[in-house]
Amino acid sequence: MVWELLLEHLWLVIISVAVAVVVSVIVGVLISYYSGAAVTVLTVCQILMTIPSMAMLGFMVPLFGIGFTTGVVALILYSLLPIVRNTYTGIKEISPAVVESAIGMGMSEWKILTKIKLPLARPVIMAGVRTATVMVTGIAAIAAYVGAGGLGELIFQGISRSNEPMIIVGALGVSIIALAFDFMLSWGEQRLASIGKTREVEI
């Protein structure tokens, strides 16, 4: 049972973050070109992130019902701010000289984005992904309250039955997953940072 719930928890987090990365990077890139929209978009993302998790899940239930989908949608919304903000910041912090050099070489805007901007912004984007992943790993435990599954079920069942070992197993499982994600993504962030520095020197 514990292993099944652990896999459910991992699956819930991975799907949510994967969808959030795709959506957030696209949004972050767009607002880097349309700076007027940046404040509005980031404010909306910030408002979503400040909504208490139980309230967010409550808002989702009438739309998606009880179950896995409700948990995924809520976690996606919580993941947006760190990744959108870091994508926008990472692109905006690229030296104008690097971009001008690429333009001087005759590169199209699409190539500048895909070959210069995004590769150089990857370490900052990865930092946002890391923050979002660790954060939603914890929130995913609460999503079990609306039938999303995962280790949160152990915690809630333990509370209802006054079963302390069950609560501890669930809490430890969530903590271990969060620490594992943090370690792996931290390593990936450092790797991308070193690759990005090498690339910037080459440019």
* Residue 135 reports pLDDT greater than 90: yes
Residue 195: pLDDT band with limits 50, 70, 90: low
CA distance 111 to 109: 5
3-state helix, strand and coil shares in percent for the chain, rounded to the nearest 5: 90, 0, 10
> For residue 188, what pLDDT is reported?
85
CA distance 9 to 95: 40
CA distance 17 to 200: 28
DSSP E strand boundaries for the chain: none
> For residue 202, what pLDDT is reported?
52
Q: How does DSSP classify residue 150?
A: S
Number of residues written out for the chain: 203
List the domain range (segments joined by +) for residue 84: 2-202
Number of domains present in the structure of the chain = 1
User: Distances from the Cα of 88 to the Cαs of 27, 34, 198, in angstroms?
Assistant: 8, 11, 22
CATH code at position 198:
1.10.3720.10
- Rounded average pLDDT over 12-18: 97
Could you tell me what percent of the chain has a pLDDT over 70? 96
- Rounded average pLDDT over 125-130: 95
* Residue 83 reports pLDDT greater than 60: yes
> For residue 201, what pLDDT is reported?
47
Query: What is the overall mean pLDDT for the chain?
Result: 91
Cβ atoms 50, 106 nearer than 8 A: no
CA distance 140 to 136: 6
Tokens of residue 147, six digits: 């039938």
- Condensed to tens digits (0 to 9), the pLDDT of residues 85-121 reads 999 999 999 988 888 888 888 898 999 999 999 999 9
Whose tokens are 């971009």? That residue is: 99
* Residue 198 reports pLDDT greater than 80: no
- Rounded average pLDDT over 23-29: 97
- Rounded average pLDDT over 155-174: 94
- Rounded average pLDDT over 17-41: 95
- Rounded average pLDDT over 158-180: 94
Look at 135 and 104; give whichever has higher pLDDT.
135
* Residue 194 reports pLDDT greater than 90: no
CA distance 140 to 74: 9
Residue 3 phi, psi dihedral angles, 5° rounding: -65, -40
Residue 77: pLDDT band with limits 50, 70, 90: very high
Residue 36: pLDDT band with limits 50, 70, 90: confident
Cα 68 from chain centroid (whole Å): 18
> For residue 85, what pLDDT is reported?
97
Taking alpha carbons only, the member of 92, 70, 185, 170 closest to residue 132 is 185
Residue 3: pLDDT band with limits 50, 70, 90: confident
